[in-house]
């Protein structure tokens, strides 16, 4: 099917290409050669607002760095070529790798920015056309600990199991490791009531923009030591129980495992929690009192987590401890209260539901479940044994590249691991070692610069599809401008590669509407059930939240109101003892380095660093430290520094901030080359989610 484009100058209703808030906007093509125009639209998540990234999102559509023809490496340099030559080289690389190493000699790495249709097809293509089990994606580094924790406690993972607008009337909100004022600014308006009531509490090692907002409204900033989020949650749980704030009826009727959880939390008395985290006993008690009193008054109480709490080698346990606090207070599964997590990437929710994750099949089914395999195989028209088993998690997959017995070819879509992977130099070396590296992108990212073949693909405003936002709401992405002549859609690329490989191109439709219909059938009966959704309902503007299947055809905006998705319908307290840090400070590395995002940039920065307005706002790498820490090594504000860990060193400008902890420094992770924050981060992996330890590593600061 060919999707007609709007008449020149007429707006197309769609959503922002960046974060999972998925703000609504319209895109109006220019009647001449100028850029398209972005106009914000009223929508529950953004209510007519956009951040500066959304406002400038059209700049990349006709950017001079846009790749408009395939590139192949010749004599060490990337050279333009035609599609037939490029795909012949890709096909030859796949066949060469598999001839010597079998199906798993080819690996695939996806991204949380792919549409649902592309995430679904990428997993299917890897498993059927390549016959490989080795597929994972960058969302492993975003949502995996939150997902693992929610699955353990609730039996199901949907980032926010209630609409964002439910937060509007809440007078108490605790955010742990979340900085939405920088990462998704329009979201912050949903916290206005809590902020005005002095009920906004932010747990963050630094005084972020969100923490500033809390303090300015009379709320609380819990300035914890990096990596102590689990201890903080257990300390808050201790205060909730000892202080008489436990919702005993809720705990007895809707949960299980409290006694085991309390056996651990009982040891986290306020004075011990203060010694470990740096958060005072008074702040612990005030935080619990705010949540409890707001709950009791019926005025709304919520707990939200994000990457600051989750991107650790025990991030799943941290999520479990925070959920335990929420359960003790009786918040999840009740109108006006709740627990949720702020999904990061634009399709971070949908991207992990439909099969590009190493251990999952469409509908959020586990690939090791025989019934799940049988259902998906029936939709795909194959025998269950033709679907490979689970593969390797994102970092483990990248770290296996080029190693003995490891993959010798890789296809990368919608990801830039040269910048985004932990221990980035190590992963860059692995990518360089490959016989064939294929990268599909629309700009020459740092990863694409290493490729043997670069395939130009459409951008957000040039494609049709669906995405699932942080609430579990499925949205339509509509094509509003024409892609460059040389770009080809990923669905077409996978179909063409399957044809060239002789592996059933008919299994890989190129029409996203057809793919969505198949995805819906494949998801039927799964945790993330889309089977009652269809393109026409989404185009008509229905607010469809999954699960939306035979038992819930109208969708499910609010989950767990009657029961949780566990075998007995009860939520589970899943609390573990606090482990020692994966890497602690020492005389050679006396500081803790932590990473995060800034307002002007997004993810690896491959897009936003090319937007002049955003690049001028944050043109180069910096490190935020307390002035005392800077002066101790002969540095002042604006000086050039190196941040050194056991893995590498980052070059950065010094930004002194008296609100910083004196044992901590902060690095934004959006910059490239010698300014990559992930040159120093630690690849220690969570045993459940396989999330790396991005948020705490031992470092030292020195003058450059």
| Residue 10 binned pLDDT confidence (cut-offs 50, 70, 90) | confident
Query: Does pLDDT of 9 surpass 80?
Result: no
Q: How far apart are CA 663 and CA 132, in angstroms?
A: 45
* Average pLDDT of span 197-204: 98
Task: Give the mean model confidence (pLDDT) for residues 130-136.
Answer: 98
pLDDT, tens digit, for every residue of 97-106?
999 999 999 9
Determine the Cα angle at 494 with ends 490 and 498, to 5°: 170
Task: Please list the residue range(s) of the chain that carry CATH number 2.40.40.20.
Answer: 591-703
For residue 554, which of 519, 529, 525 has the smallest C-alpha distance?
Answer: 529
CATH 2.20.25.90 maps onto the chain at 12-62
Q: CA-CA distance, 417 to 448, in Å (whole number)?
A: 10
The pLDDT tens digits of the residues spanning 29-87 come to: 987 777 899 999 999 999 999 999 999 999 999 999 999 999 999 999 999 999 999 99
Nearest to 173 by CA among 340, 343, 344: 340
Right CATH number for 71-142+348-455+489-506 from 3.40.50.2020, 3.40.50.740, 3.90.1720.10, 3.10.310.30? Answer: 3.40.50.740
If you average pLDDT over every residue of the chain, what do you get? 96
Using an 8 Å Cβ cutoff, are 261 and 573 in contact? yes
Q: Chain centroid to CA 609: how far? A: 19
The model's confidence at residue 344, banded by pLDDT at 50, 70 and 90, is confident
Q: Buried b / exposed e across 478-516, counting CB within 10 Å, b at 16+?
A: bbbbebbeebbbbbebbbbbbbbbeeebebbbbebbebb
DSSP lists the bridge partners of residue 649 as 644
Mean pLDDT over 123-141 rounds to 97
Beta-bridged to residue 339, according to DSSP, are: 303
476, 539 in Cβ contact below 8 A?
A: yes
Could you tell me the sign of the dihedral formed by the alpha carbons of 508, 511, 514, 519, in that order?
Answer: positive
pLDDT of 2 above 80: no
Distance, C-alpha 287 to centroid of its chain: 27
Q: Are 564 and 155 in contact (CB under 8 A)?
A: yes
> Is the four-CA dihedral 499, 501, 503, 508 of positive or negative sign?
negative
Res. 7: pLDDT tops 50: no
| 151 — pLDDT class (breaks 50, 70, 90) | very high
Return the CA Rg of the chain. 24
Q: Is the pLDDT of residue 698 over 90?
A: yes
pLDDT at 34: 74
82-96 pLDDT per residue, tens: 999 999 999 999 999
- Tens digit of each residue's pLDDT (9 = 90 or more) over 571-585: 999 999 999 999 999
Task: Give 147: exposed, middle or buried? Use CB within 10 Å, 0-12, 13-18, 19+.
Answer: buried
Alpha carbons within 13 angstroms on the beta-carbon side of residue 434 total: 33
In angstroms, rounded to a whole number, what is the distance separating the alpha carbons of residues 184 and 617?
Answer: 17
Q: Where residue 8 falls among pLDDT bands split at 50, 70, 90?
A: low
Residue extent(s) of CATH 3.40.228.10 domains in the chain: 144-342
Residue 626 has pLDDT above 80, yes or no: yes
Helix axes of 490-501 and 83-101: crossing angle, nearest 10 degrees:
60
Rounded mean pLDDT, 277-295: 98
Q: Which pLDDT tens digit goes with each residue over 651-690? A: 999 999 999 999 999 999 999 999 999 999 999 999 999 9
Looking at CATH, the fold of the domain delimited by 12-62 is given as N-terminal domain of TfIIb (2.20.25)
Three-state secondary structure readout of 43-64: CCCCCCCCCHHHHCHHHHHHCC
Fold of 591-703: Barwin-like endoglucanases (2.40.40)
Q: CB-based contacts of 528: which residues, under 8 Å, 6+ apart?
A: 158, 353, 354, 363, 364, 546, 547
Q: What is the mean pLDDT of residues 195-205?
A: 98
Mean pLDDT along residues 268-282: 98
The rounded distance, in Å, linking the Cα atoms of 101 and 98 is: 5
Rounded (10°) angle between helices 281-296 and 270-277: 120
Class in CATH terms, 144-342: alpha beta
Q: What is the DSSP string of 360-404?
A: EETTTEETT-HHHHHHHHHHHTS-GGGS------HHHHHHTTTST
CB 15 within 8 A of CB 467: yes
116 touches 525 (CB < 8 A): no
Tell me the pLDDT tens digit for each residue of 345-395.
999 999 999 999 999 999 999 999 999 999 999 999 999 999 999 999 999
pLDDT, tens only, 220-237: 999 999 999 999 999 999
């Amino acid at each position: 099917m060919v999707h007609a484009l709007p008449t020149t100058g007429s707006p197309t209703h769609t959503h922002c290409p960046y974060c999972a808030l998925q703000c609504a906007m319209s895109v109006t093509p220019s009647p001449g050669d100028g850029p398209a125009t972005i106009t914000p639209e009223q929508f529950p998540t953004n209510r007519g607002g956009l951040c500066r990234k959304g406002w400038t999102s059209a700049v990349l559509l006709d950017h001079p760095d846009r790749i408009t023809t395939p590139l192949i490496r010749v004599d060490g340099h990337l050279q333009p070529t035609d599609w037939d030559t490029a795909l012949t080289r890709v096909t030859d690389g796949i066949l060469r790798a598999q001839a010597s190493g079998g199906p798993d000699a080819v690996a695939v790495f996806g991204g949380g920015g792919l549409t649902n249709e592309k995430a679904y097809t990428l997993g299917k293509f890897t498993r059927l056309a390549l016959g490989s089990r080795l597929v994972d994606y960058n969302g492993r580094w975003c949502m995996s600990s939150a997902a693992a924790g929610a699955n353990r406690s609730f039996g199901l993972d949907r980032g926010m199991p209630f609409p964002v607008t439910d937060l509007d009337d809440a007078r108490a909100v605790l955010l742990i490791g979340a900085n939405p004022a920088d990462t998704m600014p329009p979201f912050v308006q949903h916290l206005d009531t809590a902020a005005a009531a002095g009920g906004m509490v932010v747990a963050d090692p630094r005084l972020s923009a969100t923490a500033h907002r809390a303090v300015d409204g009379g709320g609380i900033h819990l300035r914890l030591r990096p990596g102590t989020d689990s201890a903080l949650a257990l300390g808050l749980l201790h205060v909730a129980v000892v202080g008489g704030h436990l919702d005993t009826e809720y705990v007895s009727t809707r949960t299980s495992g409290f006694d085991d959880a309390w056996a651990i939390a009982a040891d986290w008395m306020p004075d011990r929690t203060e010694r470990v985290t740096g958060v005072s006993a008074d702040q612990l008690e005030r935080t619990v009192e705010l949540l409890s009193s707001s709950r009791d008054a019926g005025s709304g109480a919520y707990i939200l987590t994000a990457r600051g709490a989750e991107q650790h080698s025990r991030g799943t346990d941290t999520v479990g401890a925070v959920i335990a606090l929420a359960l003790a207070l009786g918040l999840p599964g009740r109108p006006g209260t709740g627990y949720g997590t702020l999904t990061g990437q634009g399709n971070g929710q949908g991207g992990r539901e439909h099969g590009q994750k190493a251990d999952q099949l469409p509908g959020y089914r586990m690939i090791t479940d025989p019934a799940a395999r049988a259902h998906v195989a029936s939709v795909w028209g194959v025998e269950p044994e033709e679907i490979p088993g689970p593969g390797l998690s994102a970092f483990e997959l990248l770290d296996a590249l080029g190693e003995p017995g490891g993959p010798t070819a890789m296809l990368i879509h919608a990801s830039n691991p040269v910048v985004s992977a932990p221990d980035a130099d190590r992963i860059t070396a692995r990518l360089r070692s490959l016989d064939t590296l294929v990268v599909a992108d629309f700009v020459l990212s740092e990863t694409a610069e290493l490729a043997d073949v670069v395939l130009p693909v459409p951008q957000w405003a040039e494609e049709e599809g669906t995405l699932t936002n942080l609430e579990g709401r499925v949205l339509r992405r509509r094509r509003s401008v024409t892609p460059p002549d040389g770009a080809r859609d990923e669905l077409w690329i996978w179909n063409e590669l399957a044809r060239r490989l002789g592996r059933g191109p008919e299994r890989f439709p190129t029409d996203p509407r057809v793919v969505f219909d198949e995805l819906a059938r494949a998801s039927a009966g799964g945790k993330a059930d889309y089977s009652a959704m269809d393109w026409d309902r989404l185009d008509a503007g229905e607010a469809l939240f999954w699960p939306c299947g035979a038992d819930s055809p109208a969708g499910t905006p609010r989950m767990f109101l009657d029961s949780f998705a566990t075998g007995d319908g009860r939520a589970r307290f899943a609390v573990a003892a606090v482990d020692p840090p994966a890497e602690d400070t020492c005389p050679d590395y006396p500081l803790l380095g932590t990473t995060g995002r800034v307002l002007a940039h997004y993810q690896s920065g491959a897009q936003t660093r090319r937007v002049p307005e955003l690049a001028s706002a944050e043109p180069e790498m910096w490190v935020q430290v307390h002035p005392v820490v800077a002066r101790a090594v002969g540095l002042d504000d604006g000086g050039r520094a190196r941040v050194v860990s056991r893995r590498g060193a980052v070059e950065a400008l010094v930004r002194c901030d008296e609100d910083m902890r004196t044992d901590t420094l902060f690095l934004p992770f959006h910059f490239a080359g010698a300014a990559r924050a992930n040159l120093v981060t630690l690849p220690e992996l969570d045993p459940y989610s396989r999330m790396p330890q991005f948020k705490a590593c031992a470092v030292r600061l020195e003058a450059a």
